[in-house]
Amino acid sequence: MEIKGEAKLLRIFVGETDLIGHIPVYERIVQEARKIHLAGATVFKGVMGFGGTSRIHTAKILRLSEDMPMVIEIVDEIEKVEKFLPTLHDIFEEAKSGGLITIEKADIIKYVVGNKNN
């Protein structure tokens, strides 16, 4: 698999406790991205943040650490990323939770598929 040149970086912000059934939304997004063979997806857990409700979430205070921000980043060719957007909209609809999706231009410098687990 090869990605060269201009691509898109898809960034999705959700909450740690956003669920679809028993599955976290961030996990569902990664699963769906894998299904359509996107180049890769990485999930980051934030240590502090706030969303649409302006409610602060912070890892330092136990009571406020219940719904930490999660960021999923996906980089791939423009067509493949755009093809994934309807799925993302469906996930957000299904979860009925808040969130944010951004998309921006990304220049791929290097994309290498390792073989250490083969």
Partner 1 sequence: MQNYIMVFIGAGFGGALRYWGSDIVYKFLPTTFPYGTLFVNILGSFIIGLVIYYLDSNKLINHDLRLFLTTGFCGGLTTFSTFSFETINFLKEREYFLAGSNMILNVFLTLLAIFISYKLSNLLVGKLNF
Per CB under 8 A, 62 contacts partner 1:
yes
The residues near 42 (Cβ < 8 Å, ≥ 6 apart) are 72, 73, 74
**DSSP structure class, residue 67:** S
Per CB under 8 A, 45 contacts partner 1:
no
Per CB under 8 A, 110 contacts partner 1:
no
**Contact predicate 111/89, CB 8 Å:** no
* Residue span binding partner 1 (CB under 8 A) among the ranges 3-11, 37-45, 62-70, 77-85: 62-70
Per CB under 8 A, 53 contacts partner 1:
no
Give the residue, chosen from 58, 73, 87, 103, that forms a contact with partner 1 under the rule CB under 8 A: 58
The residues near 7 (Cβ < 8 Å, ≥ 6 apart) are 75, 76, 77, 78, 81, 105, 106, 107, 108
**Min. distance of Cβ 99 from partner 1 in angstroms?**
21
CB-nearer residue toward partner 1: 34 or 55: 55
Tell me the β-bridge partners of 108. Answer: 5
- Pair of tokens at residue 36: 């359509």
Per CB under 8 A, 61 contacts partner 1:
yes
CB-nearer residue toward partner 1: 61 or 85: 61
Per CB under 8 A, 64 contacts partner 1:
yes
